[in-house]
Structure 1
Amino acid sequence: MNYGDLNQKEAKIFLNEEQMTALLPVGAVEVHGDHLPLDTDCCLARRVAEQVEERMGSRRCLVLPCVPYGQVWSLGNVPGSIHIPDEVLTDYLYGIAKSLEHAGLKRLAVINGHVGNGSAVKEMMRKAYEKLDMKIFQFTYPGAADVIGRVCTSKRPHKVYFHADEIETSYMLYLCPEKVRIEEAVSQDVTFPADYEYTPVRWSDFMETAVLGDATAASGEKGKQIIDAVVDNIVRILKGEN
């Protein structure tokens, strides 16, 4: 159920359901080349949350409005991106959790569509652990790596990061195809600096277009296989299944 569609009476009832989990999509506003929109991470987080809610059922999950802004330091100086510092994002997310806990909610799951938000989300969860009577989960495409290794064919410039490439473009072709301008997709060889892991470097310093690899290799079928596995994992964890 969409949280924003509830009225006052319904909100009070649903938030006090003992096993109710609120799903909080968190994205970013960030450049993704010319074939994907600035709100790509928001679109993906929201659609994943909706699929989880569909699997879990409206009596067990509420989909909250998406937090649209995130920490995008790596591409924050490129026109189109909007960067929110970690400490601001942490406090903002904590405020959401605290309000929901005050209303009676006991379980919150952050559906994160942007890897760069990870540190802020983790800090929020630690703060909430100490101060709130609430169990909080964080999901950034859990279980995707195994499927990516089987279905994606292009070379990845970095073993962890993906951005507007075969992976993320496949996600969009499956979940938000109406927003993809596939005719604008490019393949771009990217080389990370040798000291990248040890000192801050903006992606815009070594990447002309914000595409981290080959977007032309993407397909909706690849996206479906990966996202289906991700949703399976989220549902399994929320249900407490092994």
Structure 2
Amino acid sequence: MEFQYENSYEIKDKVTASSIAILPVGAVEAHGPHLPLGTDNLLAERVAKNVAEQVEAFVLPTLPYGQVWSLRNFPGSINVSNESLISIVVDIGESLYNQGFRTFVMVNGHLGNQPALKDAARVLFTSCPDMKVFYFFYPGMKQAAKEVRETDSAHATYFHACEIETSYMLYLAPEYVDMKKAIKDIPNIPEDADVTPTPWEAFTRSAVLGDATLATKEKGEHIIEIAIRNMVDMLRNHCQKRR
């Protein structure tokens, strides 16, 4: 169910019946020569719709801008601060709470958003005590990726426009992928990049962190379906406890 296409006369009863709202959260940033700037938006939106269908939830319009400080100097990237992101997510959450929603789910497509979404969830924990807030970022993907990837990860945490994220796109939004332009670019990320502010242009010109040429739809399907199953299971368990 897509929230924006409902009408004011009927929505109240539908919210009472469902009470679950899912917000896809993405970003606009460089994703190499083969993926669009809105990759994270597409992934978040399509995962969110899949989850919503299985738990009978509403999908909210996608929040399309994220914290992309690391890539803010690359052509096409649009950055918002953590503070701005926290503020708007809290405002959305409190508005949903006032409308009767009691489960607020953020399906995040961009790793850089996670600190802000976690902080927003903590604010809502206090301001909306009867509302459960989830902030998902492909739960279970780390182990699932190990099972299918052919190259080592360029970084213990980051994955970007690489074998993994390109595989996600080939599964969920293949019409936006140009594999003819996919490249292999495995950067040498300095050790201190994890403990000091480091713009990504310091170690990559392409914004690709791996070998995108190895991406396949099948790899994406394997990882994404595990992540979706984990999200659905957590939401169903939560709903059972509320009854």
TM bin (shorter chain): over 0.9
- Where does residue 209 of structure 1 map in the other structure? 206
Matched position secondary structure for 1:22: strand
Give distance in 1, aligned partners of 2:38 and 2:31. 9
Q: Given the alignment of the two structures, is residue 97 of structure 1 paired with residue 96 of structure 2, yes or no?
A: no
- Where does residue 190 of structure 2 map in the other structure? 193
Identity fraction in percent = 45
Measure how far apart 1:205 and its partner are: 1.4
Q: Given the alignment of the two structures, is residue 80 of structure 1 paired with residue 76 of structure 2, yes or no?
A: yes
2:163 aligned partner, one-letter code? E
CA contact (8 A) 1:27 1:112 kept: yes
- Where does residue 218 of structure 2 map in the other structure? 221
Q: Name the TM-score, length of structure 1 as normaliser.
A: 0.96
- Where does residue 11 of structure 1 map in the other structure? 11
- Where does residue 116 of structure 2 map in the other structure? 120
Q: Name the TM-score, length of structure 2 as normaliser.
A: 0.95
Measure how far apart 1:68 and its partner are: 0.1
Aligned residue pairs, count:
238
Give distance in 2, aligned partners of 1:189 and 1:167. 13
CA offset digits 1:91-134 (Å, max 9, x no partner): 01111111111111111100000000011101100100011131
Matched position secondary structure for 2:49: helix
Q: Which stretch shifts more, 117-126 or 5-14?
A: 5-14
CA offset digits 1:141-188 (Å, max 9, x no partner): 001111101111112110111000000000000000000011000001
- Where does residue 134 of structure 1 map in the other structure? 131
CA offset digits 1:33-83 (Å, max 9, x no partner): 010000000000000011111222xxx301111000000000011120000
1:156 aligned partner, one-letter code? S
CA contact (8 A) 1:16 1:103 kept: no
RMSD: 1.3
- Name which of 148, 154, 159 aligns with 1:157: 154
Q: Which runs of 5+ in 1 are unaligned?
A: none
2:32 aligned partner, one-letter code? G
- Where does residue 2 of structure 1 map in the other structure? 2
